[in-house]
Structures are given as C-alpha cells and as structure tokens.
Amino acid sequence: MNEPQNVKFKPGKILDGKWIIIELIGKGAMGEVYRAHQTNLKRDVAIKIISDDVMSEIADDPEELDIAFGRFQREVQTMAQVRHINVLTIYDYGEIKESDGTGESRTAYIVMEFIPGNSLRFTLSEDGLDDVPELYGEWVRDYFMPLLDGVEILHINKIIHRDLKPENIFLDGDIPKIADFGLARSQQIKAVTCSIEMLGTLAYMSPEQCADFKYAGYTTDIYALGKILFEAVNGTLTKKAVPFTSVCINNPQTDFLKEMSKIIKRATAEKPSDRYQTVQELRTDLQRSLLRFSGEYNGEPADAHTKNHISKMVSDKQIKIFAIGIIIVIALIVAADFYDYFYMTDSTPGLDETVYTETSEKPDYRHIVVAEGNSVLAETILGKDGSRLVLTGDVQSTTEEKFLFYMDNRKITNFLFLEFLHNVKEEITVKNGIVRHGGKIVIYIGDGSAAEDNIIFEHDSFHLKNQDDGSKPVSRVTYHGAQMYAIQYGKELLTDKEWQYGYRYHLANLAQKKTVEPEIERKDDFNMMMHNTSFAPERPNDQIVLDNMGQTFKEWVSLIPSAEGDAPVSSKDATPISGVMDSSRVDQGGQPLIRFPWEGFDDVGFRTKIPVVKK
C-alpha cells in the first residue's frame, strides 16, 4: 500500500522524543490519524492532528487558523472530561513548532487510545437484517445498547457529540467505543464556529443541525442513534437516501420489527420535541421490546412515552458468565466458612449470646443471626466492618413475617470502603483509575483530578483525597465491588424486595414515633404503612429515613426471582441480576432499574444486611 503523498508525518518521525510514527491509519476532512508507538510505556497509541490539507487552505487566514486550533483543543478538553468503557480514552495533548526555511509551522496533536479492530460499520449488513429479526435483536443487544451507555455518559457530562455514525464508533473486541469528538460541544466549554467544512455527516445529521449548527442539542445525538438503528435493519444508507427526514422500517413482518419501527420513527422525528428527550427513554423502549421478543416480558405493549424505566438488559451470555462467577464466589465462601467453623470462635464482641448467636454453619452459606425462642433481639448490632446495623422486621409478630434481617443504618462510607480496599489490597489491581479483582471491576477511582474522585491511589496505597469526605457514601462502586465488600465481612447485599421492605418498615416506624393518637395500635399503623404504596398525608419527611435512604443516592440491590408473591428465594437457588433502587422506584410500583454489574455511578452506593432466622 502506497503512503499518501500529502501527509504531515512520515513513518519513523519522532514526536516530543517519545512517540514514533508507524503509519497513517485514517484521514478525514479535518484531521489525520496515525498509529504510533510510545517508547517510555511501550504501547501503541493513536495520534490525531489537523491535516496539512486544511492547514494549507487556512494558513494565510489567521482567523480561520485560530478557529481550527480552537476547535482541536476543544476536542481534547471534551474527551478529557469523560472516562468510560464505551468512550475512547485520551492520553495527552501537545503542540510542536517546526521551521522549513520559509517560515514556522504549528501542529497540534492528540494522543489517544489505539483500537486495532474495526468500526461499528463492520457489524452492519449492506442489505440489513429485516429478514432475520433474531440477528437484529442480537445486534441491538450486543452493540447498540452499550453504545447508548457511552452516549448517555457524554450527555451526563453535558457533551453533545453531533457526529455519531458507524465510522466514529470503534470496536475493541466486541466493545463499542465512541471516538472522533471533532464536532462535539460541551456546555462547560466556550463554543467556536468554523466555516471550512460541512459540520456533520448528512445521512445522520438532524434537520436542526443542518439548519443552524448551534441549535444542535442532545436530541441531535438521539436522531443519529435512530439512523444507526435504522441502518442496521434496513441496510446501508446510500447517497440516494433523503437526509434530514424521519425514517421507519418498510412493511415490518413481525411484532418485534413493528415495535422497532415505532422506536426508530420517534428517535428520528424531524422535530426535536417529538423525539426521545433522553438516552434513558430510548433505552427503556428498546429494553422492553427486546425482553418481549425473547419471551421474558409479559407487560403492557411497548409505549415510547412510558415512564416505567426498565434499564439495560443482561444478555444470556452475560448471565451465564455471571452465574459462573457466583458459583466460584460461593465456593470461596464455603471454604472460608469451613475455616471459620473449625478454627474461629462463633462469638461477636458486644453481642448477647444468650439472645442470639452468629453462625457460619448454614445451608445457604451466609452469616446469620439466630433468634432463640421468644427472646428479644437487640435493636442494633455492630458488623465486622464496623458498620451499625438496625433490626428490620418484627421478631415478636404473631403474623408470618416475610422478611427479618439487620441492615446498615447508613450507606457504606468512603472510610469503610477505604479500609476494605486496604484489607484486600493483595487481591486487587489498579490500572488507569480502575480497581479490579480478577477480571471484575470493583470501583472506578479516577486519577484524582475530578471532584468525584474521593478515593485515590498513590505511593502504592489507597487514600482519601479529602478527609472531610470520609463519612460520605462511597460512590462509583460496581455491583461486583459492593458484593465483594459484603462477602468480605460475612454480609450480603439487599435484594430489591428487601430494600423496599426496609424502606417502608423504617418509614412506618418513624410515623409511629411521631403519632399523636396513642389509642392507635402500632400493629395497625404498621400494617397500613407496609401494605399501601400511597402513604397517609402525614407521611414524614423521607429524607430522615435511615440516612436519606433512597433520596439523592440510589443503592445497589440483587434482583432475585420470587417463588410465590413477594416471598424471597434463597440466593443459592437463582442467579441474581444487578439493579439499583431509590424511593421513587418504590412509589412507582417497586420495579428496580437494571444495571450491568460492572458499571459505576456518581449517585449510586450500597448498604448490606445480616439475615435473622427464628427458631
């Protein structure tokens, strides 16, 4: 293959003494992308520069030159705001000045993650997948849903990409990564204009972006996503396709394709107000259609305007992998409990053993509290991690209680999680701001530069960036990390139904303490609160229930299928699915928000439990 003549760098050129240019791997209207080798870290990287073609056109126009460099620098600032598995990572930025005898040239460059694989275009069929809806469903699940995660994190960071298309989505194995932020706009960075090219790609460009670039908002990205979704089922968008219009599947033959056609039509609506307003809304309808298509959903027909947020679907492959992981974890717990039973004492400091005892000898391999006879359990106990757990449920109740356990009275804090990381330091690794245990992500700690980076890793040790944040709930912990923490201290995560029960139970107790009518028995008041989703007008302020339970922070839960009604099923009998809960989910019927177990969020923490068994 012949190297293009009009390129800035030739193979073998060294930038800033550490990047050796290997080859040109891409060239667009604005920039050139090279594969290079970073000598000090011994890794391949991608280096993007403003192309010489553009530079030659604007070299004599200082205003256009400043605009080009301003936009290029903005791309760096935009990309640097985001760290996510579905977004390309930026490593460095710089400028070099060179003299060619006639004057001095200026070149800016970005050093990025190098992805040797193909783009999303490689996964698309030229003829579309409308005749094989099963493959279309798999494509949506495996590639499009993770793509939504990447776009959503951009929007959370107030970034609008404005040039989403298959060629700008790279594949790292099967993981899609959003790249090419040349047209991206961040609301936190001063915008620039540019007159040297058409801003965007016509086939995926929304009408408002074409009419006036500055009016391209978040729904512009939704429009492009709809076009990609359409292209996957209908076939490659050719130059004959009419741009800036709404599209749908022509004559869909199955119920699944009919639902997908409705979703595509709304996503690509010509008026921004008629489209999905958020990625979450689009995800919800896709999730519902996929679940129904796979025979796992029996609810109402798909409605694009629904406010029931069912989140990301866990694929069969992911569930199998997750189930294997659960089996391995259980095996490790059995081994640990075997050791505890024979070599460790059963007593826990500060607990009255005549009332209840802690044991490791149990059929479902959990640390439990055993209530003997009619003994009264303590209102609170101290966990092995130092957390204070509060009794949830009434051991003296004459009715059959479905739930009885101790739960943390506060979400796990940065202090507690930091201590946990120290305890398991030999079992985990830290790389690029991500803490892993084996192949599973435990927590995203970042590099310490972001305000949300509460825990940092320096001098081969974990630290709190700000000691004042130690008592705040730990965030960015994955479901895997929360589960690992619980297992480390002989505890468990709450299931979704246990979380709802705990929220209502302590809300009811709070109402009982505040009542001014002594003739109303606690049992009646409790039952009224526990079995009604709509609470009485004198409902107390939710924000004072168990450390703001379910308010500003969501919490990880395990979704365990039920045997009958609301009765819990042992975690050993079913494969748990990760999800998050907050008070709004309780009021809306209790449906958790499903999340992948490797995800971490700034507003999601967790708390743990110790089950109680009555004898």
- The residues with which 612 forms a beta bridge, in sequence order, are 369
- Number of structural domains found in the chain: 4
Chain-centroid distance of CA 93 in Å reads 27
Q: What tens digit of pLDDT does each residue of 132-166 get?
A: 999 999 999 999 999 999 999 988 888 888 889 99
Find the domain containing 461 and state its range. 413-472
- Does a structural domain hold residue 4? no
Q: Tokens 């493959």 map to which residue?
A: 135
In sequence order, the 6+-apart residues with CB closer than 8 A to the CB of 604 are 475, 476, 477, 553, 554, 555, 556, 580, 595
C-alpha to C-alpha distances, 336 to 26, 322, 340, 361, nearest whole angstrom: 53, 21, 6, 11
Q: What tens digit of pLDDT does each residue of 425-474 get?
A: 999 999 989 999 988 999 999 888 888 888 999 888 898 888 778 888 99
The residue from 253, 283, 313 where one domain ends is 313
Are 19 and 149 part of one and the same domain?
no
- Does a structural domain hold residue 1? no
Single-letter amino acid, residue 563: A
- CB contact at 8 A, 528 and 561: no
Output phi, psi for 365, to 5 deg. 60, 35
- CB contact at 8 A, 264 and 247: yes
- CB contact at 8 A, 178 and 150: yes
In angstroms, the CA 106 to CA 317 distance is: 50
In sequence order, the 6+-apart residues with CB closer than 8 A to the CB of 182 are 28, 30, 31, 71, 72, 75, 163
Mean pLDDT, the chain, rounded, equals 75
Identify the pLDDT of residue 572.
Answer: 44
Task: Report the CATH number that the domain containing residue 77 is assigned in CATH.
Answer: 3.30.200.20
- Does a structural domain hold residue 502? yes
Are 283 and 400 part of one and the same domain?
no
Identify the pLDDT of residue 105.
Answer: 73
Q: What is the dihedral of CA 482, 484, 489, 493, to 10 degrees?
A: 40
Are 303 and 425 part of one and the same domain?
no
Are 521 and 405 part of one and the same domain?
yes
Q: Which two tokens stand for residue 437?
A: 């245990």
Range 151-156, long-range pairs (CB < 8 A, 24+ positions): 151/178, 151/221, 151/225, 151/279, 152/278, 152/279, 152/280, 152/283, 153/82, 153/84, 153/86, 153/87, 154/82, 154/87, 154/178, 154/184, 154/221, 155/218, 155/221, 155/278, 155/279
- CB contact at 8 A, 89 and 83: yes
Three-state SS for 53-117 is HHHHHHCCCHHHHHHHHHHHHHHHHHHHCCCCCCECCEEEEEEEEEECCCCEEEEEEEEEECCCC
- Does a structural domain hold residue 518? yes
Identify the pLDDT of residue 90.
Answer: 85
- The residues with which 399 forms a beta bridge, in sequence order, are none
Are 251 and 359 part of one and the same domain?
no
Are 485 and 461 part of one and the same domain?
no
Identify the pLDDT of residue 86.
Answer: 92
Nearest one of 434, 441, 390, 435 to 411, comparing CA atoms: 390
Q: What tens digit of pLDDT does each residue of 169-193 get?
A: 999 888 999 987 655 555 443 433 4
- Does a structural domain hold residue 28? yes
The residue from 313, 342, 374 where one domain ends is 313
Has residue 574 got a pLDDT over 80? Answer: no
Are 150 and 293 part of one and the same domain?
yes
Has residue 282 got a pLDDT over 90? Answer: yes
Identify the pLDDT of residue 60.
Answer: 62
Are 273 and 253 part of one and the same domain?
yes
- At 300, the pLDDT band (50, 70, 90 cuts) reads very low
- Does a structural domain hold residue 71? yes
Nearest one of 152, 221, 210, 150 to 185, comparing CA atoms: 221
Buried b (16+ CB within 10 A) or exposed e, 524-562: ebbeebeeeeebeeeeeebeebbeebbeebbbbbbbbee
In angstroms, the CA 160 to CA 179 distance is: 13
Three-state SS for 294-352 is CCCCCCCCCCCCCCCCCCCCCCHHHHHHHHHHHHHHHHHHHHHHHHHHHHCCCCCCCCC
Are 326 and 298 part of one and the same domain?
no
Chain-centroid distance of CA 484 in Å reads 18
- CB contact at 8 A, 292 and 263: no
In angstroms, the CA 477 to CA 484 distance is: 10
Report the range of poorest mean pLDDT among 144-148, 539-543, 608-612: 539-543
Are 84 and 169 part of one and the same domain?
no
- Does a structural domain hold residue 5? no
- The residues with which 14 forms a beta bridge, in sequence order, are 20
Task: Report the CATH number that the domain containing residue 237 is assigned in CATH.
Answer: 1.10.510.10
Q: What tens digit of pLDDT does each residue of 219-269 get?
A: 999 999 999 999 999 998 876 677 778 999 999 999 999 999 999 999 999
Are 184 and 274 part of one and the same domain?
yes
- At 614, the pLDDT band (50, 70, 90 cuts) reads confident
Are 342 and 420 part of one and the same domain?
no
- CB contact at 8 A, 267 and 284: no
Identify the pLDDT of residue 161.
Answer: 87
The residue from 113, 139, 172 where one domain ends is 113
